[in-house]
């Protein structure tokens, strides 16, 4: 019944949601650990727990919105992709690739805000080679989307490898969701108390 409405099975929908959870929560946890020392030093441990709860709650909402976007994207695929599961694999791959480029964007702005020596050296030379740097970046982004999708479409081995990776990621995502639950409960307790 669900496949007739959504073009994804229940298992595929669950795995798609968990694939959306993984990169967003990974980035949220990196941000929490980056800010943790400062927060504990300036405030206390209980404040850090509440801060973590708010960050993870926002990551959960962001994961749900990203899942809805990818779910709707599933309607754009040709019917032959929907029948053999390629639509699911391609959707998950697009979601992961997009998420990792978004993380790269955030890392770039973090490096600009407080640049290490190597990054300053690179950024001093980019204005002289701006066209080359921009062209290389566009090529990298385009290739990172096209190559995995092409491999998934053309090779059943590539599709199976991507599905195996998605299943492994889903295990870690379940762990992230359990951390979410604990952190959100701690933030609620902190807010009430």
In the DSSP assignment, the letter for residue 9 is -
Q: Does 22 score more than 60 pLDDT?
A: yes
Burial of 75 per CB tally in 10 Å (0-12, 13-18, 19+): exposed
Residues 56-98 have pLDDT tens digits of 999 999 999 999 999 998 888 877 777 788 889 999 999 999 9
Average pLDDT value for the chain: 85
- Confidence label for 23 from pLDDT (cuts 50, 70 and 90): very high
Residues 177-192 have pLDDT tens digits of 999 888 888 878 877 8
Q: Does 127 score more than 80 pLDDT?
A: no
Residues 47-65 have pLDDT tens digits of 788 888 889 999 999 999 9
Give the structural domain span for 135: 2-192
Question: 0.75 cut: is pTM over it?
Answer: yes
Reading the block at residue 49, the tokens are 């727990």
Q: Does 193 score more than 80 pLDDT?
A: no
Torsion on CA atoms 59, 64, 67, 73, rounded to nearest 10: -120
Domain count, the chain: 1
Residues 187 and 190: their CA atoms lie apart, in Å, by 5
């Amino acid at each position: 019944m669900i496949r007739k409405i959504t073009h994804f099975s229940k298992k595929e929908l669950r795995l798609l949601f968990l694939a959306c959870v993984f990169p967003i929560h990974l980035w949220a946890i990196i941000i929490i650990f980056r800010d943790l020392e400062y927060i504990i030093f300036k405030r206390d441990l209980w404040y850090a727990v509440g801060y973590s709860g708010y960050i993870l709650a926002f990551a959960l909402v962001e994961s749900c919105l990203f899942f809805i976007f990818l779910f709707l994207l599933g309607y754009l695929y040709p019917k032959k992709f929907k029948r053999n599961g390629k639509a699911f694999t391609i959707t998950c791959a697009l979601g992961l690739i997009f998420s990792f480029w978004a993380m790269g964007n955030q890392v770039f702005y973090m490096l600009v805000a407080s640049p290490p020596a190597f990054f300053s050296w690179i950024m001093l030379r980019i204005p002289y080679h701006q066209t080359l740097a921009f062209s290389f970046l566009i090529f990298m982004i385009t290739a990172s989307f096209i190559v995995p999708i092409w491999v998934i479409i053309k090779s059943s081995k590539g599709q199976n490898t991507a599905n195996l990776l998605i299943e492994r990621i889903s295990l870690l995502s379940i762990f992230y969701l359990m951390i979410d639950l604990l952190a959100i409960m701690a933030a609620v307790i902190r807010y009430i108390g």
